C-alpha cells in the first residue's frame, strides 16, 4: 500500500510582548500611518526573554496535547528557521529534548521565508517513504535578534513567533502538487548573519549579523516570479484558481497579497492575512496563519478543502504546495 502524508494537527505561539507602530515611532523616524499604509503591519510580538527553541517547544507541546499522541511516537522533528539559538546544537534537537521525543531524529532547515514550505515538502517525502509514521514540522523565528533597530527600513517589518503541524501517515493522498525554487544569483538582495573568517591563517573578514534587504527588488520578485510560479502550478495540476479554497501565503506585506490576488484573478477574500498583528515572521508566518485559520473555523482539517501554501524570501527561495486540508 502506498503511504501518504496528511496534516492532522496545527498549533502556534507568539511572545506576550506586543510592540505597536507608535512604540517604534518613539525610537525611530517613522509613524503608524507610514508603516501600515505601505505594509499593512500595525504591531508585532517581540520576545523579552525567550529564544527560538522556547517558541518552537511551545508549539510542539501544544501539537502533542491536541493530538493526544505521546512524544515517544514522534519519528522526526524539523524546525525551519534562520534565527536558531545556535548553529550547534540545532533548535530542533533542543525541542526534541524539551518534549521528550526520545525516538525522534531532529534537524533545522534554512530556507528563510520559504522554510516552512520546504520543510513540509521534505517531511511529506519521509512519511510517503513508508519508513516514518509521525513527524513534527515547525517554523520558528526570533527575528528581533537579527534586525538592526536603527534601520527603519527593516526594523518596522519583522516580528517573532512560531507555528507548526503534526504530519501523519494516511491512506489517502493529501499533498497534491508542489513547486520549489531557488535563485542564488539574486541572493544578495536579502541577507543576514554573515560570518567572517577569523583564523590566524586567514585574511580577516568582518561579521555582519544584521538583516539587510533591498525592499524594492524583493517586492517585485514576489509579485512577478512567485505569482507566475503559483499560476503555473495551478495550471500544471489541471486546476483553476477557483478550485483553490484558500491561499495561505507568506505574510510579508499586504500590498503583495493584493497584487498576487489581482494577477491570479482571485478575490482577496481567499487570502487570509495576519501581518497586521504579527509583522513578517519569516518561516513562522504560514504555519501561524494556518493555525489561526483552523482556530477561527476557516479551515476544517477534515480533508474537504483545497489549500495553496506559498512562501518566498531569502536565498532567493520560493515554494508552493497544493494540499487537501
Looking at 174, 250, 253, 293, which residue is catalytic? 250
Closest CA to 59 of 324, 225, 281, 209: 281
Looking at 4, 21, 45, 280, which residue is catalytic? 280
Q: How far apart are CA 58 and CA 14, in angstroms?
A: 9
Tell me the torsion sign for CA atoms 270, 20, 79, 185. Answer: positive
Q: How many CB atoms lie within 10 A of CB 182?
A: 15
Helix (H, G, I), strand (E, B) or coil at 5: strand
Task: Name the region of 138 (left: φ>0; alpha: ψ -120 to 50; beta: rest).
Answer: beta
Q: Is 198 one of the catalytic residues?
A: no
Looking at 12, 21, 113, 293, which residue is catalytic? 113
Q: Is 280 one of the catalytic residues?
A: yes
Q: How far apart are CA 259 and CA 286, in angstroms?
A: 18
Contact 65, 55 (CB under 8 A): no
Residues designated as active site: 113, 250, 280
Amino acid at each position: 500500500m502506498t503511504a501518504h502524508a496528511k496534516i492532522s494537527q496545527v498549533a502556534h505561539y507568539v511572545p506576550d510582548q506586543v510592540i505597536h507602530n507608535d512604540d517604534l515611532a518613539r525610537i525611530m523616524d517613522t509613524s503608524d500611518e507610514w508603516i501600515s499604509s505601505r505594509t499593512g503591519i500595525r504591531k508585532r510580538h517581540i520576545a523579552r526573554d525567550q529564544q527560538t527553541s522556547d517558541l518552537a517547544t511551545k508549539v510542539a507541546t501544544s501539537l502533542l496535547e491536541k493530538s493526544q499522541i505521546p512524544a515517544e511516537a514522534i519519528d522526526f522533528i524539523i524546525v525551519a528557521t534562520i534565527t536558531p539559538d545556535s548553529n550547534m546544537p540545532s533548535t530542533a534537537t533542543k525541542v526534541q529534548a524539551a518534549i521528550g521525543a526520545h525516538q525522534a531524529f531532529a534537524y533545522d532547515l534554512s530556507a528563510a521565508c520559504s522554510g516552512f514550505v520546504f520543510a513540509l515538502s521534505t517531511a511529506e517525502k519521509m512519511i510517503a517513504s513508508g519508513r516514518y509514521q509521525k513527524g513534527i514540522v515547525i517554523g520558528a523565528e526570533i527575528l528581533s535578534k537579527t534586525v538592526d533597530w536603527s534601520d527603519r527600513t527593516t526594523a518596522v517589518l519583522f516580528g517573532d513567533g512560531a507555528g507548526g503541524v503534526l504530519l501523519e501517515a494516511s491512506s489517502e493522498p493529501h499533498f497534491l502538487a508542489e513547486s520549489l525554487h531557488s535563485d542564488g544569483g539574486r541572493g544578495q538582495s536579502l541577507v543576514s548573519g554573515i560570518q567572517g573568517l577569523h583564523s590566524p591563517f586567514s585574511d580577516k573578514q568582518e561579521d555582519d549579523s544584521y538583516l539587510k534587504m533591498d525592499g524594492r527588488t524583493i517586492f517585485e520578485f514576489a509579485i512577478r516570479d512567485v505569482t507566475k510560479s503559483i499560476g503555473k502550478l495551478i495550471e500544471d495540476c489541471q486546476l483553476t484558481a477557483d478550485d483553490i479554497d484558500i491561499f495561505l501565503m507568506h505574510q510579508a506585506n499586504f500590498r503583495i497579497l493584493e497584487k498576487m490576488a489581482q494577477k491570479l484573478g482571485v478575490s482577496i477574500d481567499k487570502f487570509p492575512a495576519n501581518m497586521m498583528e504579527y509583522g513578517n515572521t519569516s518561516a513562522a508566518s504560514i504555519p501561524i496563519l494556518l493555525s489561526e485559520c483552523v482556530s477561527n473555523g476557516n479551515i476544517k482539517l477534515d480533508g474537504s478543502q483545497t489549500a495553496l501554501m506559498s512562501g518566498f524570501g531569502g536565498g532567493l527561495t520560493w515554494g508552493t504546495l497544493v494540499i487537501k486540508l
